[in-house]
Amino acid sequence: VPRREQGVYVISVAAELTGVHPQTLRIYERKGLVEPARTGGGSRRYSDTDIALLRRIQELTNVGLNLEGVRRVLELEAEVERLQREVDRLGKESADAVEQAHKEHRRELVPLNQAMVLYRRGGNGPAPS
């Protein structure tokens, strides 16, 4: 079980790691961009994935996006990633499906000349390697 998802950084450390002001981190949470875990006492605990997300947010704001834009861009980037995986999967699947079709035929059929040889020899089963 990886511990990466567990919140380990308090807000001041998260601020250091990402170069974002602690107060700004609270704003990001209020706007729903990040959702760090909370301790029983109510303190925020940022996980490594939270840190990575915050760094991405930082990149986007640094090139001039506002927070609403950041939200939409993150959503769309996730969509792009999902579709890219789908394309990769379908690419392999297509090749595999063709291969599978060939194999089926190889199991059930034999070339005519080979069949004739088998027949002449009295062979009855089409058992090629």
Partner DNA sequence: GTGACCTTAACGACGCGTAATTGTGG
Partner DNA sequence: GCCACAATTACGCGTCGTTAAGGTCA
| Rounded Cα gap, residues 97 and 89, in angstroms | 12
State the minimum distance, in angstroms, from the CB of residue 125 to a second copy. 8
- Cα dist from 59 to 20, 35, 55, 77, 116, whole Å: 11, 18, 6, 14, 70
* 23 contributes a contact to DNA by CB under 7 A: yes
Residue 59 interacting entry, from DNA, a second copy, none, C-beta within 5 to 8 Å by type? none
Note whether 51 and 14 are within 8 A (CB).
Answer: yes
**Three-point CA angle 119, 126, 128, nearest 5°:** 120
Which residue from 1, 2, 63, 64 is in contact with DNA, where contact means CB under 7 A? 64
Residue 48 contacts residue 4 (beta carbons within 8 Å): yes
Answer for which of 4, 5, 6, 12 binds DNA (CB under 7 A) is 12
* Binding flag, residue 27, DNA (CB under 7 A): yes
Q: Please, what is the minimum distance in Å from the beta carbon of residue 102 to a second copy?
A: 6
Choices 14-22, 80-88, 104-112, 113-121 (CB under 7 A): range interacting with DNA: 14-22
Contact partner at residue 91 from DNA, a second copy, none, CB < 5 to 8 Å by partner kind: a second copy
Listed residue (88, 55, 51) closest to 80, CA to CA: 88
Binder of residue 119, out of a second copy, DNA, none (CB less than 5 to 8 A by kind) = a second copy
Please report whether residue 44 would count as binding DNA according to CB under 7 A: yes
Q: Does 68 bind DNA (CB under 7 A)?
A: yes
Whole-number Å distance between alpha carbons of 59 and 108: 58
